[in-house]
A and B are shown apart, each in its own frame.
Chain A
Amino acid sequence: MSGRPVQITGMGIVSSIGHDIASFGQSLAEGRSGIKRLDWQTTPVPPVAVGAPIADFDIEAALGSDAKLALRMARRAPFTVQTSIVAATQAWRQAQAGEIAAERIALVVAGNNTTQNYQYSLQAAFRQNPEYLSPRYALQFMDTNLIGALSETFGIKGEGFTVGGASASGNVGIIQGMRLIQAGLADACLVVGVAADLSPMEIQAFYSVGAMGGRRFHDQPEKACRPFDAAHEGFIYGQAAACVVLEAAGIRKISSLATVMGGTTALHATASSDPSIEGEARAMRGALRQAGIDALEVDYVNTHGSSSPLGDKVEIEAIEQVFSERFPQVWLNATKGLTGHCLNSAGVVELIACVVQMQHGFIHPNMNLETPINARARFCGGQAVRTQLRTALSNSFGFGGINTSIVLRK
Chain B
Amino acid sequence: MAHSKTRDDVFEVVRKNILEVLPDLSPGMVSIDKSMSDLGANSVDRMEVVTQSMEDLDLKIPLMSFAAVTNIEGLVGVLFENLR
Contact = CB atoms under 8 A, between A and B. Distances in A.
A182 B1 CA distance: 68
A135 B23 contact: no
Contacts of B23: 72, 75
B55 interface: yes
Contacts of A129: 55, 60
A135 B51 contact: yes
Contact of B55 (A72, A75, A132, A138): A132
A22 interface: no
B47 to A, nearest CB: 4
Nearest to A131: B60
Interface residues of A, number: 13
A76 B21 contact: yes
Nearest to B60: A131
Contacts of B55: 129, 131-132
* Residue from A68, A129, A135 having most chain B Cβ neighbours under 10 A: A135
B44 interface: yes
A131 B44 contact: no
A376 interface: no
Nearest to B43: A135
Given A136-B44, A139-B44, A131 B51 contact: yes
B24 A72 contact: yes
Contacts of B60: 129, 131
B13 to A, nearest CB: 14
Contacts of A68: 24
A133 B51 contact: yes
Interface in A70-124: 72, 75-76
A129 B55 CA distance: 9
* Residue from A129, A131, A133 having most chain B Cβ neighbours under 10 A: A131
Interface string B37-57: 000000010011001101100
B54 A135 contact: no
A165 B60 CA distance: 42
Interface in A25-82: 68, 72, 75-76
A208 interface: no
A132 B44 contact: no
Interface of B: 21, 23-24, 44, 47-48, 51-52, 54-55, 60
Interface of A: 68, 72, 75-76, 129, 131-136, 138-139
Shortest 4 CB-CB distances between A and B: which pairs?
A135-B47, A132-B55, A131-B60, A135-B48
15 contacts: A72-B24, A129-B55, A129-B60, A131-B55, A131-B60, A132-B51, A132-B54, A134-B51, A134-B52, A135-B44, A135-B47, A135-B51, A136-B48, A138-B44, A139-B44
